[in-house]
Amino acid sequence: MHNSEKCIAFTSKHWNKAQQNYSTIKKEVLAIVLCISKFQSDLLNKKILVRVDCKSTREILQKDVKNLTSKQIFARWQAILSIFDFEIEYIKGTSNTLPDYLTREFLQGKE
């Protein structure tokens, strides 16, 4: 996060059995869909910047899904996101420390 930015909310979810078997890319895209959907009332009609540390995630959300192997599910997720004004920005994983920190701290607290 940049100095002028503030995080206003966090969310989490346990994957169901089917979602646990999703590829990493599918999980990344689904996480974006679930997060934006959860905060829909706060995010509608606002410019949203989504930062990802996986280039493939960004590419999937920005391209036509006709050539993707899981095109039905990605098309459905793109349709859900289409009502939002969002931009996907790629950042290096080393710069995306907050999500990793939250995950590590949560998991360490469980042990």
Mean pLDDT by 10 residues, the chain (111 residues): 73 90 90 93 92 85 68 86 91 71 53 49
Q: Is 44 part of any domain?
A: yes
| pLDDT given for residue 81 in this prediction | 92
Structure tokens at 93: 């994983």
Q: How many domains does the chain have?
A: 1
In a domain, 36, yes or no: yes
Query: What pLDDT sits at residue 53?
Result: 84
Q: Is residue 10 part of a domain?
A: no
Distance CA 61, CA 101 (A): 25
Q: Which domain holds residue 22?
A: 17-110
Q: Is residue 69 part of a domain?
A: yes
- In a domain, residue 103? The reply is yes
Q: Domain for residue 11, yes or no? A: no
**pLDDT the model gives residue 43:** 93
Domain assignment present for residue 28? The answer is yes
> Does pTM surpass 0.75?
yes
Cβ-contact 76, 30 below 8 angstroms:
no
